[in-house]
Amino acid sequence: MKNMTNYELNSALERKRKKRKKKRTIRMVLLTSVVLLISFIGIKNVINKRKLLVKNNISTTYAGSKENIQESKNNQENKVDNNVNENLNNNKNDKNDKNDIKNESKNNKNFTKGIVMSVDKIWSKEDKRKVAFLTFDDGPSPHTPYILDILKKYDIKATFFVLGTSAKNYPEFLKKEVELGHSIGNHTYSHKIRYSGAYTPEAFVQDVKRCDNAIKEVLGQDFKTNLVRFPGGSFNHKSYETALLNSGFKHIDWNVENGDARRLNVPKEELINNVKEEIAGHNKVVILMHDSATKETTVQALPEIIEYLKSQGFEFGIISQNN
C-alpha cells in the first residue's frame, strides 16, 4: 500500500467501506429474520395452547355467539361420547360391570347400584344412614358433560331436575344422564318463580306437564318421572303444592345448598364452605346445586364437595323418579 497514489488509496478505502456496509446490512437482515421467526413460532405456540385449553377445559369466558355455543356443545357431546366409549371398553372383560351399564341404560328401571330413595322416605327419622343426594337444577347445560365426568370418576349417581327449555337445547346431554344411571326430575318448562297472578296453581301444573312432554320428546314416551322440584322451592306455595300432588306428582326441596345461585361466579371455596357448614347435624342431605352455563365454579367445587362428604361418612343416593 506504500506505493499507492492518493487516488488509489482513496478508492481502496472506499471499497473497504462499501464492503463493511454490505456485511452490516447482511447481518441486520439475518438478525431481523431470526427475530421475526422466533416471534412467529412463539405466537403460534400461544395460539395452539389456547386452542387446546378451550377444547379440553372449561373455557374461562362464556362464548356469546350462537356458533361458539354450538361449537362448545359439539365438543362436549364428543367428550361424553368418548367417555362412554372408554367406559364401555374398560368394562369389556368384566361381565358384571357390562351388565350394570346395560341395566342403567334402560330408563333407570333396572338401576341396581347405590341408594335410591323415594321422596317421602328421605326425611324419615328411622333410617340413620348418612346419605347425600346431589341435585342439579336448570340443566342440561354446556357444563353437563363435566358434571357427568366427575360423577363417573367417583362412581356417584345424582338427581338432575331438568328444565323443559334446557332439555330441548341439549337433548343429547339429557340422554347421557339417563344412560349413566342418574335420576331425572322435572323443574317446569319455563322456570317462573313468581307463584301469583296469572301463574295460578293450574298454570303451574300445566308448566310441569309441558316440561314432562319436553322430556318425553327426548327420552321417549315410555320414560316416566313424577319427581318435581319447584323453581325457587315450594316454600309457602301451599295451593300450588296441593294442585301438583293432585295431578300425581311428588316434589322435593333441599336442606343444603352450595349457594351458587346467590350471585354470579361465587368463588369455588365459598361454595365448598357453604356445604361444609350446612351439612352439620344432618343424616340426610339434599344438596341444591345448578347445572347452568353461568355456574362454572359449581363444576370446579364439585370434586372437593364430594371428597368432603365422603370424609364425613356419607354415602350417595338418588331420589326416585317414580314415587
Q: Which residue has the cell 354470579?
A: 264
The residue number whose beta carbon is nearest to Zn ion equals 137
Which residue in 3, 249, 116 sits closest to 240, CA to CA? 249
Selected catalytic residue, list 143, 182, 251, 290: 290
Distance of CA 135 to the CA centre of its chain: 13
Cβ-based nearer residue to Zn ion, 104 or 137 = 137
Helix (H, G, I), strand (E, B) or coil at 62: coil
Smallest distance from Zn ion to CB 263, Å: 15
Selected catalytic residue, list 137, 138, 212, 291: 137
Residues 91-130, one symbol each (x = binds Zn ion by CB under 5 A, - = not), give ----------------------------------------
Rule CB under 5 A: is residue 137 a binding residue for Zn ion?
yes
Q: In degrees, to the nearest 5, what angle opens at C-alpha 125 toward C-alphas 119 and 128?
A: 100
Smallest distance from Zn ion to CB 278, Å: 18
Residues 222 to 241 in contact with Zn ion, rule: CB under 5 A: 231
Identified binder of Zn ion from the candidate list 104, 138, 207, 212, rule CB under 5 A:
138
Distance of CA 287 to the CA centre of its chain: 16
Contact between residue 262 and residue 109 where contact means Cβ atoms under 8 Å apart: no
Smallest distance from Zn ion to CB 319, Å: 16
Rule CB under 5 A: is residue 140 a binding residue for Zn ion?
no
Partnered with residue 257 across adjacent β-strands are 288
**290 classed as catalytic:** yes
Number of residues engaging Zn ion in binding (CB under 5 A): 3
Q: How far apart are CA 315 and CA 285, in angstroms?
A: 10
Q: Quick count: other Cβ atoms within 10 Å of Cβ 27?
A: 10
Please give the grid coordinates belonging to residue 263: 350471585
Residues 273-302, one symbol each (x = binds Zn ion by CB under 5 A, - = not), give ------------------------------
Cβ-based nearer residue to Zn ion, 201 or 231 = 231
Residues 169-208, one symbol each (x = binds Zn ion by CB under 5 A, - = not), give ----------------------------------------
Q: How far apart are CA 11 and CA 8, in angstroms?
A: 5
Please report the sign of the dihedral spanned by the C-alpha atoms of residue 48, residue 51, residue 56, residue 61.
positive
Please give the grid coordinates belonging to residue 116: 335410591
Cβ-based nearer residue to Zn ion, 107 or 165 = 165
Please name the residues in contact with 101: beta carbons below 8 A apart, sequence gap of 6 or more.
87, 88, 91
Smallest distance from Zn ion to CB 305, Å: 19
Smallest distance from Zn ion to CB 229, Å: 7
**137 classed as catalytic:** yes
Smallest distance from Zn ion to CB 64, Å: 22
Q: How far apart are CA 313 and CA 305, in angstroms?
A: 13
Catalytic residues: 137, 290
Positions touching Zn ion (CB under 5 A) are 137-138, 231
